[in-house]
Amino acid sequence: MSVKEFKLPDPGEGLTEAEIVTWNVKVGDTVKVNDIVVEIETAKSLVELPVPFAGTVTALLVDEGSTVEVGTPIIAVDTGGGAGAGAPTTVQDAPAEGPVEPGLEGSPAPKLAAEVAAAAADEEIEEGKIGGTTSTGRTAVLVGYGVKQTEAKRRPRKGSAAPEAPAAAPTAPAAPAAPAAAPAAAAPAAPAGGARALAKPPVRKLAKDLGVDLGSVTGSGEGGIVTRADVEAYAAGAGSQPAGTSGDATAAAGDAAYVAPVFAQSGERETRVPIKGVRKMTAQAMVSSAFTAPHVTEWVTVDATATMELVERLKKDREFRDVKVTPLLVLAKAMTVAIRRHPEINATWDEAAQEIVVKNYVNLGIAAATPRGLIVPNIKDADRMSMRQLAEAISALTATAREGRTQPADMSGGTITITNVGVFGVDTGTPIINPGESAILAFGAIRRQPWVVEQADGTETIEPRWVTQLALSFDHRLIDGELGSKFIADVGAILADPARGLVWG
């Protein structure tokens, strides 16, 4: 017997620990090279880890919910002694080829001290080579960026109700009828016989936080998957929620993923939630930013009626029929235009070098509230995108954040941020600057309000208009009042009259 241990690899971004969220295998399961065996949560994202060797699982060395440091053995696999001489016994022993994430010049790129690879179908791959497309016979893949991310469907877990068909069965005659497959067509009820409940990692984490046993919850999702709504309804004592309902409470504009908290009916007067993962990282970053950069906040109230009219026209335009059009899209475009007029707003303060670094590109951050906490993924090179491309990018960013799958690279290298507090019905606020940036703009709720309108003949009338408030917080070390005022005034002017974007852009 040859037992090898898989150590927790370095997820990069300076992170030194991660939480074991979900094991996809159990003791006795057989695994192949690159099988996804565990899902971990770092301070920035949920990541699926593939195993670098094949064999039989002999031990899960860390329990779900435990936080472990990089380099800690987490699973033991009996490889059967079939590995070649000199093969690495852990992921850390394999040489890394650290590919660089494109478009992240000037920002820390994720690193990986381990190599994992895309195993071709069920092909046996020699351990120590792990795949093979590069000149060295290996394929270097960042944690969370491998082939698993590009697949359309999840690979079934070992021991599930629908196991993978054996690869060596081409000569088996096709049966005229398959009555045994008929039960699989129906949506499964609650897991029985010790089978693992089907649920996405964010749902599992919610169930863990609420003290809900997923095996007791009836899934209403497609294929019997347990949804967030099912867990919340069960925790509230209402049993499983009917199929077709959604647990994501998203505001009408749909630009931020937000889930209302549900408190377990345990009878306890207090609940203690460990500070870790995204919330821990966010707290540290906000404290550092608030007490390092001198914040100044300015407000402007804008008649956004023309923006709302533009949004309605774009929704009917065939160029935008496949994407979601919201006022946030217009604001994002207005920001890029205003930055072109005032490039010094898109900068950062380099304390070590005593320099102001002006960025000639715009990586536009969109703050998103998720079940794991507040994250700020950004759209790379947003200033080079058309309105249609921006709409697609915002939709993809929001969907990924809602699923808890935002990767560290998507949150690195931001230059300026929008926080859309308006989706929660909030008028405005004083946002804290995202670390590494110098400005953040809060987008308030758009409401119907009385507004003084100047007519063509010079007279003034009071009319109901769509009105919103913008608030810009900026680092006063490098952005003075004049620059900040001109920038937010230009953004407001474009919302009031989107045609200005054509003139200024």
**Tens digit of pLDDT for each residue in 276-290?**
666 676 677 777 777
pLDDT tens digits, one per residue of 9-40: 876 656 678 888 889 899 999 999 888 899 88
Q: Is residue 154's pLDDT more than 50?
A: no
Under the banding of pLDDT at 50, 70 and 90, the label for residue 131 is very low
d(CA 496, CA 494): 5
Question: 142-146, 307-311, 418-422: which range is least confident on average?
Answer: 142-146
Mean pLDDT of the chain: 73
Identify the pLDDT of residue 287: 74
Alpha-carbon radius of gyration of the chain: 26
- Select the more confidently predicted residue: 313 or 122: 313
Q: Is residue 88's pLDDT more than 50?
A: no
Q: Is residue 411's pLDDT more than 80?
A: yes
Identify the pLDDT of residue 195: 55
Between strands 378-379 and 439-443, the pairing is: unpaired
Quick one: CATH architecture of 3-78? Answer: Beta Barrel (2.40)
Q: Is residue 261's pLDDT more than 80?
A: no
Q: Write a three-state SS string for 119-142.
A: CCCCCCCCCCCCCCCCCCCCCCCC
Identify the pLDDT of residue 254: 41
Q: Is residue 84's pLDDT more than 70?
A: no
- Select the more confidently predicted residue: 128 or 169: 169
Once rounded to an integer, what is the mean pLDDT over residues 476-503? 95
pLDDT tens digits, one per residue of 203-233: 777 777 777 888 788 888 777 788 878 887 7
Q: Is residue 488's pLDDT more than 80?
A: yes
- Select the more confidently predicted residue: 443 or 409: 443
d(CA 78, CA 111): 28
Fold of 289-504: Chloramphenicol Acetyltransferase (3.30.559)
Residues 118/139, Cβ–Cβ less than 8 Å: yes
Residue 56's beta-bridge partner residues? 30, 78
pLDDT tens digits, one per residue of 51-73: 888 999 999 999 888 888 888 99
d(CA 435, CA 226): 36
d(CA 142, CA 48): 11
Once rounded to an integer, what is the mean pLDDT over residues 340-366? 94
Highest mean pLDDT among 270-274, 332-336, 501-505 belongs to: 332-336
The pair of structure tokens assigned to 485 is 């005022």
Q: Is residue 354's pLDDT more than 50?
A: yes
Helix (H) or strand (E) holding 298: strand 295-303
Identify the pLDDT of residue 162: 43
d(CA 256, CA 251): 8
How many other β-carbons are positioned within 10 Å of the β-carbon of residue 159? 13
Q: Is residue 96's pLDDT more than 70?
A: no
Check the CA dihedral 493-494-496-502 and report its sign: positive
Identify the pLDDT of residue 498: 96
d(CA 471, CA 343): 19
Distances 422 to 225, 315, 327, 434, 471 between C-alpha atoms, Å: 32, 20, 10, 19, 12
Return the exposure string of 60-94: e unless at least 16 CB atoms fall within 10 Å of the residue's CB, then b: bbbeeeeebebebebbbbebeeebeeebbbbbbeb
Identify the pLDDT of residue 115: 36
Say whether 355 sits in a helix, a strand or coil: strand
The pair of structure tokens assigned to 74 is 């987490």
- Select the more confidently predicted residue: 369 or 454: 454
Once rounded to an integer, what is the mean pLDDT over residues 166-183? 40
Say whether 105 sits in a helix, a strand or coil: coil
Residue with tokens 């309108």: 453
How many other β-carbons are positioned within 10 Å of the β-carbon of residue 426? 15
Residues 262/228, Cβ–Cβ less than 8 Å: no
What's the angle, vertex CA 420, arms to CA 205 and CA 466, rounded to 5?
A: 140
Q: Is residue 176's pLDDT more than 60?
A: no
Question: 253-262, 450-459, 485-494: which range is least confident on average?
Answer: 253-262
Question: 126-140, 260-274, 395-409: which range is least confident on average?
Answer: 126-140
d(CA 476, CA 299): 15
What's the angle, vertex CA 83, arms to CA 50 and CA 99, rounded to 5?
A: 40
Under the banding of pLDDT at 50, 70 and 90, the label for residue 329 is very high
Distances 320 to 329, 386, 494 between C-alpha atoms, Å: 12, 12, 20
- Domain residue ranges of the chain, discontinuous segments joined by +: 3-78, 289-504
- Select the more confidently predicted residue: 186 or 75: 75
Residues 41/205, Cβ–Cβ less than 8 Å: yes
Any idea which residues carry the catalytic annotation? 476
